[in-house]
Structure 1
């Protein structure tokens, strides 16, 4: 059955929404870690997210996954915890601009992994678009001046690698299953919250006591928007599109991070930054179109071969 254009548009809009809130998360996470420390910041984020989604699932009477579905959700929970943990430590130790550049490496890694998993290699034009997007990110962040890689940069690179595996695995493990998207994400958040709580340990109560109004605002934003909203949309979207398409749309995240910095932190953007932002958006849409055409051709029945067979018969 062909996919409806209206649903394609909804998927695209929601994935861009995820990119927007994740772009804003860099500043929120950096501010929160300065107030609470990294382990406590991650733990608070996931505890708030797990409680909020738990209430929603209880009201909706969502059925929790079982068997293989539960195992897949737990596995994805550990990979999601690794992504956020590595990314938060990285942002804490490096600049938000460097983090925005390096996390976009998932944009290039995801189609490679998905192609290997599906044994259906994407056309070269897609990789040209993906590389162009990364070049755009480099132009975007170079306005502020890049420096030599640090330990924080290495952690963000690791987060990008894990994110590529996570997006690809989410599509492979959850597609064509009847498990509730909300319930699967709830299991992931519980795993993330439990893991982060164990890492934070005795520091967590003291961190909570130090939080002021802005700190709680950051916790709620990271927990509700960057976790519940973003994770639910990401998992729902990859069930209705490809991991590659999801990745390239969410790859606009650095553009939104820049906009948040300009509007809320008073950062300035020069000509190279504007050029990079335009290149990222253009490459994202071009890559999306290339990937969609490739997927549609792969699903199209071999009409010529069928007609030849019928004529011979």
Structure 2
């Protein structure tokens, strides 16, 4: 029980950090190009991770599995962040945090390592409630076509769900160290954004202390700590459980966006926020109950004679 609680506490802290990342990213991209923000974020994170790996020389170098899996997950994680960062640059931080929470109901549909096959109809009802919430969130003060930022965040939610499921699938029953895996991912991300951001590097000369503080926060807390903690938690639990607990992220995003960013919710978006949180938590409860039932039934199936 203590192990479960410690894992859950780490995931909740990750959710709080990621919830605050939308306002930090939106502020950073208001003065710097998106690709430059991503390059600096990944670059600082890579330096920190490589330094941590070097400081722990007793653990040895990265294994072949860590290099191979880190390369794959580095590409998917970079895809998530590029969609998220471009998206939040063209919508509100609160809206981005709420829309990305679709990851919670999408991950179990993609994750087949934790007994999520054959989800009950109630789960799809919860998913439908979340989709209704999406319609309200993108409507703003009245129904209209979604903004480009909203569509990018929705795409990021789908890619993030695939990424979380992939982390669970690729690291299952493998001796993979979260720190080394995270280090490979950040190096891969740095390489991916280096060339696209090269022409914008002179813009860093006009970044003030506040801007650097935001970039450091995005790199060290929202990348190094969050990536490391997420991989560690998924290895100790399941991809679906990690996604469920990260479902508090939109609550933090709204709180930070309104409390620190001066954003506000209209009546329709407030209703959408309530429905999104309700839908994701309903989906969490249904998926958790379903997974428990499946796991308790598995031993029974194993005891059925093969010659029956």
2:78 pairs, out of 69, 78, 81, with: 81
In structure 2, the CA distance between the partners of 1:210 and 1:306, relative to structure 1 (3 Å rule), is: closer
* Contact persistence 1:29–1:88 (CA under 8 A): yes
In structure 2, the CA distance between the partners of 1:262 and 1:305, relative to structure 1 (3 Å rule), is: closer
- Once the two structures are superposed, what CA deviation does each residue of 1:241-267 show, in whole Å capped at 9, x if it has no partner? 222222232232221111002221233
In structure 2, the CA distance between the partners of 1:174 and 1:302, relative to structure 1 (3 Å rule), is: closer
Q: Which residue does the alignment assign to 1:177?
A: 174
Q: What does 1:1-313 align with in structure 2 at a 5 Å threshold?
A: 5-61=1-57, 62-115=59-112, 120-132=117-129, 135=132, 147-204=144-201, 206-268=202-264, 283-300=279-296
Residues of 1 paired with 2:196 and 2:231: CA distance?
A: 26
Residues of 2 paired with 1:89 and 1:161: CA distance?
A: 15
* Contact persistence 1:98–1:146 (CA under 8 A): no
In structure 2, the CA distance between the partners of 1:227 and 1:198, relative to structure 1 (3 Å rule), is: same
In structure 2, the CA distance between the partners of 1:237 and 1:125, relative to structure 1 (3 Å rule), is: farther
Residues of 2 paired with 1:229 and 1:174: CA distance?
A: 18
Q: CA deviation at 1:157?
A: 2.2
Count of aligned pairs between the two proteins: 304
Structure 1 vs Structure 2 CA RMSD? 3.0
* TM-score with structure 2 setting the length: 0.85
Gaps of 5+ in 1: none
* TM-score with structure 1 setting the length: 0.84
> Mean Cα displacement is larger for which, 117-126 or 74-83?
117-126
- Once the two structures are superposed, what CA deviation does each residue of 1:130-178 show, in whole Å capped at 9, x if it has no partner? 4445556766776766752233333222212211111111000012211
* Contact persistence 1:63–1:180 (CA under 8 A): no
Residues of 2 paired with 1:45 and 1:120: CA distance?
A: 37
* Contact persistence 1:170–1:235 (CA under 8 A): yes
* Contact persistence 2:73–2:163 (CA under 8 A): yes
Q: Name the SS for the 1:148 alignment partner.
A: coil
Q: CA deviation at 1:118?
A: 6.3
Residues of 1 paired with 2:39 and 2:9: CA distance?
A: 29
* Contact persistence 2:75–2:188 (CA under 8 A): yes
Residues of 1 paired with 2:303 and 2:148: CA distance?
A: 60
In structure 2, the CA distance between the partners of 1:15 and 1:145, relative to structure 1 (3 Å rule), is: farther
* Contact persistence 1:53–1:182 (CA under 8 A): yes
